Amino acid sequence: MNEHPWAQDVAMVLNFEARGSGGPSYMLVETNGGNRKIIEEFSNAGVEYPVANSLAYSIYKMIPNDTDLTVFRKDGDINGLNFAFIGDHYDYHTELDNYERLDRNTLAHQGAYLMPLMNHLSNIDLSDELKVPEGEDYVYFPMPIIKMVSFPFKWLPFLIIGSGLLLVVLIVYGIRKRRISFGQILAGFVPFLGSLIIGYLLSKYGWVGIKSGSFYVDQQHGFPYNGYWLIAAAAMTAATLCFFLYHKYYKKDNVASLSIAPLFILWLVCLLIAFPVGDGGLIPGVFLPGAGFFLVPLIAGLLMVWLNINQRRPSYILLVILAVPALFIFTPFVKAFPVALGMGILFVAAILTTLLIGLLIPIIGHYRRKDLLSFIGLIATLVCVGYAFAKAEFTPSQPQSTSLVYIQNQDDQTAQWATYDEV
């Protein structure tokens, strides 16, 4: 990078990575400045199936991980795009990390990024190298049909304050229409926070209780062979709790009141982690403006509550349409967070599932047999847990990986082999 004669002519770098053998390919921006022009041109390229969001961008900038692209940014101040798939992480750097195990759909997804971007970037003026000053960033996320939605970070203060005011106005409006009561709003926090806290505790300490087993200790990647089933178990546990507790607190005509708690908690999250204060946020060290797109399902949720206030039997078609942002934004994160950051945050799957179901209360709140949904969720949870434990053993198709490290002491000129495995 520092010596190659072509380095000064490079305006943009595309880097294709793998940390596993399957799953969607995620796009991550690498830049010393802002991401505005990069996101604009990425959107203009017309990538058919983008999997990219600014929350991942904000998290990526906080953690010390490097990629093959990092040297271009650090040494050459060259912008770039990373494309990495991280599914089936247990295959990474093992004998299973081979062509036969590679998901062909994953490989095709990489190509679905490469071809339109090569065509687009080779036909535009890159003399400015798509550079903008630090701070000129966009919030961005994918949506069906639209593909990529983006808006400037600088809109966040107005959107957060505005959505908070809309929530207050909606509550006052609902009370005046006698479709919402303050007491029922407070009661609505019980099933939501109850599901959130119990789901968190069960998933967090459930993992703590099993991870000391040799099956988990001997898998150095942090994501075991049965990891997907454990994620499903955590999510189904949270769903079961939600349906059970909301069934207990359901009363005729209190759906709008029960819907307020999840919206308030989501707004509070946006305020705490995405509202800019000086060079950071309200919580020191935790400033994730890329999470600003959480405001989209929040605003859609406010509209869903408004429909419930004005109509005793609101149009389910409209409610389902308004539920699309929550479904498409939060559902992928249920699996993506534990896969990307390790099973130590398995509880995030339970928290996000609870939040998602809470945002859907304007729809599912009208269904009186939530006890039946809870029973179905319990059965699904037991199936997931049972299958996860059934897969918790090493087999020819799930071989035990080994680690081997060569250590050389330059002072006394001795060397030895070491391993992270229990011996």
Q: How many residues does the chain have?
A: 423
Compute the average pLDDT of residues 379-395: 95
Q: Who has greater pLDDT, 201 or 92?
A: 201
231, burial (CB in 10 Å: exposed 0-12, middle 13-18, buried 19+): buried
Q: Which residues contact 416 (CB under 8 A, 6 or more apart)?
A: 406, 407
- Over pLDDT 90: what percentage of the chain? 80
Predicted confidence at residue 25, as pLDDT, reads 97
E strand or H helix that includes residue 166: helix 156-176
Compute the average pLDDT of residues 389-410: 91
Predicted confidence at residue 220, as pLDDT, reads 81
- Residue 187 predicted with pLDDT over 90: yes
- Alpha-carbon distance of 300 to 302, in angstroms, equals 5
Predicted confidence at residue 335, as pLDDT, reads 96
- What DSSP assignment string belongs to 40-69? HHHHHTT-SS----HHHHHHHHHS----TT
Report the predicted TM-score, pTM, of the whole model to 2 decimal places.
Answer: 0.93
Q: How confident is the model at residue 106 (pLDDT cuts 50, 70, 90)?
A: very high
Lowest pLDDT segment from 156-160, 194-198, 410-414: 410-414
- Residue 232 predicted with pLDDT over 80: yes
pLDDT digits (tens, 9 = 90+) for 130-145: 999 988 999 999 999 9
Compute the average pLDDT of residues 165-187: 96
Predicted confidence at residue 239, as pLDDT, reads 98
- Alpha-carbon distance of 314 to 363, in angstroms, equals 9
Predicted confidence at residue 201, as pLDDT, reads 98
pLDDT digits (tens, 9 = 90+) for 262-307: 999 999 999 999 999 988 889 988 899 999 999 999 999 999 999 9
Lowest pLDDT segment from 70-74, 182-186, 370-374: 70-74
The tokens describing 285, both together, are 């060290």
Compute the average pLDDT of residues 210-236: 91
Predicted confidence at residue 61, as pLDDT, reads 82
Q: What is the rounded average pLDDT for all residues in the chain?
A: 94
Predicted confidence at residue 274, as pLDDT, reads 95
Predicted confidence at residue 238, as pLDDT, reads 98
